[in-house]
Structure 1
C-alpha cells in the first residue's frame, strides 16, 4: 500500500541496567551503508523488474555531498547511423523532476517578496486570463502540493487559459496530481519577480501580440531559474529544449524506435528542463548540503510540506524518511523516466532511464528496496 513514508515500523529496544557488569558488555554493532552494494542492487533491480531490458540508463549516487559512484548501461541516442552510449553526462528532458526545481524558485521568490505560502495566486496571474474567483483564490501551498482543485495533465498555454476560466474540476481540493499546477508557475513567476513590470509588458502586448507575451513569460521563468537556481551551483545555460547530445526516448523489445520530445520552452515549469544525470546529482548535493538555493528553514519547509516532492516517491526507509520525485514522458511505447531522491544518512540518488514498453518502472520502489538492503 503506497502512502507517504510507507509504513515501516522501526523497533527500538532500550535496556537500562544498573549492574556493574554493563561496562564490560560489547558495544552494539553500528550498521554501515554500503555504496557498492546499493549500486549493484539498483542496477540489478532496473534490469530485472520487467521482461524487457531498458535501451539505456544512468545513475549517480552521492554520499556526504560528493559523487560516490556512477553506473550507466546501453545507449542514449541515435544520430544518423551512429549510436551513442548512455552516460551520466548525457542530458535528458528530466520531465517532472522539473517540479522540485520550480518549487525551489517559488520558495525563493515568496521569501524575497514577503508573500506567505497561504497567500492566493490571483494577484500574480495575467489580467487577460480572466481567471475565475475560485482559481484566483488558490494558494501557493495548494499549487505546490497538488491540492488546488485543478486536475489537468497538460502543460500548454491553450489549455491553461481555458482551465482558469472554468469551475475547478475538484472543488474539494483534495490531493490530485496534475502537471498544470506547476505549469501555472510559468506565468506566476514573472509577476512574483516584478508585478508592476509584468503588468506593463502585458498591457503593451495583449491582445495585439499575446503569443509574444506568453513567450516572454516562459523566458522569464527560464531566466529566473538560470540566475537563481542553476548559476549559483555552477550550471550554465540550462534550457528547456534539447541540445546537440540529448538522450532520446526509446521503446523496448526487438524492433527499435525512438522519439525526440522537442522544445519545451513554452511548456516548461512542470516539466521540460534538460539536465544530465550528473547535473541532477549536483542539484541534489547543493540543495542538501548548502544554502545556495534555499535556507535550512526553507529546506525543512519543502520537506515537511512535500513542496515539489511526490508522496509516491517519498518512502520511509530503515534509516528515516526519504524525499523523492520521479518523472515520466512517453509517446506510445516510447518514453523515458527520471528520479531524484534525498535519502537519510547523507545519500542522494539521480537516475535516468531512456526507454519503456508502455508501462512504467516503479523506480522509487526499486531504489528504496536497494537502499534498505544496502545496510550491513
Structure 2
C-alpha cells in the first residue's frame, strides 16, 4: 500500500507541530494527563461488510490506534465500520458520522476548483505564477516567472516545504496568512528547476489557493463551497477559520502529547490541508470527481494524467492533486491526508463502483513506522476496497 510510512513528509502543514509543541506550555501536558487506556472493541457497523474487514479493523485498534472509521462501497452496497473510541476521556465510541480533519485531501478540492476555472477559460495550466501573483515568488533564487500553475498542482515547482520550519512548529495556534507561509519557503533555494523534478510541498497548494482568489476575486472558501460543497450536498465539509469543528467530531491524539484536536490553527494548512469533513462526504466528493461529474473531459484528462514518482522511497503515480495506486483488485484513485491526531486514506475506482475511506485518530510516528501496523493497514485497505 502506498505511503503508509510517509507521515513526516506527507503530513499537511504542521503535522510536526505537536511534536515540539511543548514550548507552548500546559495545554498538551494537560491533554496527555487525561488519557485513559483503550482496549480493542468490535465497535459498530451497518450494511454488509466485506469478508475479513472487521477483523482487520480491530487489529488496528489492538496495534494502538484509539479508534478507526471505515467506509466501504462495492457497487450499490455501502457499509460503515467504527472500532475503538473517538474520545479517550469519555469513551465515546468511534462513529463514521463524526467530523475529522482531512488534511491533504484538501488539495484535491483546490485542484478541482482550479481545473474548473481552466475549463471556464479564466486561466491556463501553463500560466505562470508570476502572471497571477506578480512578484510574490521572487526570493532565494525562486522565480515565479518560470513556475506554472501545472507545476504547483503536480508538485514539480521545485519550491521548498514551509511546514517544517521552526516558526510553524512552535506556534501551532497562530493564525497564518498565506503570504507568510510562502515567504518561509522562499528563504531557501529551489530544490530543482521547475518541471525538472518532483517534490511534495504544501507551499504549492498555498500558492494555488492564492491564485484562485486572484482569478475569482472571492475567498477560496467561498469558491470551494459554491462549486463543490453545496452542489454535492457535503453538509459536514468546510474550511474552518478557527481551531474548532462545526459539529460532533473525532478527537485526535499525537503520541504522548494527548488530545490535540483543537490546538492547531488550520490556517497553517489552508488550501493545502485545512479542511474538515466526514468519511461519507469525502467518498461523495471523490466519487463525483473520478466519474467525471465535476470536470469537463479535457480537464478530467489533466487531473488524471500522472507522472511516476518516488515519495519517501515508495513508487506512486501523481496527477494534479490526486494519485493512483495499485491494489489487489485494480487501480484506485484518491489522496491521503495527515494532520496532528488524524490520518485519512481515500480510494475510489475510476468508475466509482469501489471505494474505501479509512481514518484513524492517532499520529504516533513510531506506531505508523511499525511494519506490523503498516501490514495491518494494508489488510484494511485491501479488504475495504476489494472485498
TM-score in terms of structure 2 length? 0.68
- Is residue 283 of structure 2 the alignment partner of residue 274 of structure 1? no
CA distances 1:14-69 after superposition (whole Å, capped 9, x unpaired): xxxxxxxxxxxxxxxxxxxxx9564x4344334436863311111212344x5611
1:358 deviates by 2.1
Name the residue aligned to 1:179.
202
- Is residue 144 of structure 2 the alignment partner of residue 151 of structure 1? no
Q: State which drifts further: 158-167 or 173-182.
A: 158-167
**Alignment of structure 1 residues 26-105 onto 2, 5 Å:** 36=48, 38=50, 40-48=51-59, 52-64=63-75, 66=76, 68-77=78-87, 82-105=90-113
CA separation in 2, counterparts of 1:371 and 1:274?
22
* Structure 1 segments of 4+ aligned residues over 4 angstroms from their partners: 126-133, 361-364
CA distances 1:68-93 after superposition (whole Å, capped 9, x unpaired): 11111122236xx6343221111111
Q: State which drifts further: 293-302 or 97-106.
A: 293-302
Which 5+ residue runs of structure 1 have no aligned equivalent? 4-34, 195-218
SS in 1 for 2:100: strand
- Is residue 257 of structure 2 the alignment partner of residue 250 of structure 1? no
CA change 1:168–1:320 in 2 (3 A) is same
SS in 2 for 1:341: strand
CA change 1:267–1:337 in 2 (3 A) is closer
TM-score in terms of structure 1 length? 0.70
2:146 to 129, 137, 140: 137
CA change 1:181–1:367 in 2 (3 A) is farther
CA change 1:267–1:50 in 2 (3 A) is closer
CA separation in 1, counterparts of 2:258 and 2:380?
27
Q: Contact 2:111–2:320 (CA<8 Å) still a contact in 1?
A: yes
1:244 deviates by 4.2
Name the residue aligned to 2:15.
none
Name the residue aligned to 1:369.
382
1:95 deviates by 0.9
Query: Once superposed, what is the RMSD of the aligned Cα atoms?
Result: 3.2
CA change 1:364–1:221 in 2 (3 A) is farther
Q: Contact 1:124–1:188 (CA<8 Å) still a contact in 2?
A: yes
Q: Contact 2:61–2:68 (CA<8 Å) still a contact in 1?
A: no
**Alignment of structure 1 residues 1-20 onto 2, 5 Å:** none
SS in 2 for 1:348: strand
1:163 to 156, 170, 185: 185
1:175 deviates by 1.1
Q: Between Structure 1 and Structure 2, how many residues are aligned?
A: 305
Which 5+ residue runs of structure 2 have no aligned equivalent? 4-46, 169-175, 307-318
CA separation in 1, counterparts of 2:122 and 2:60?
47
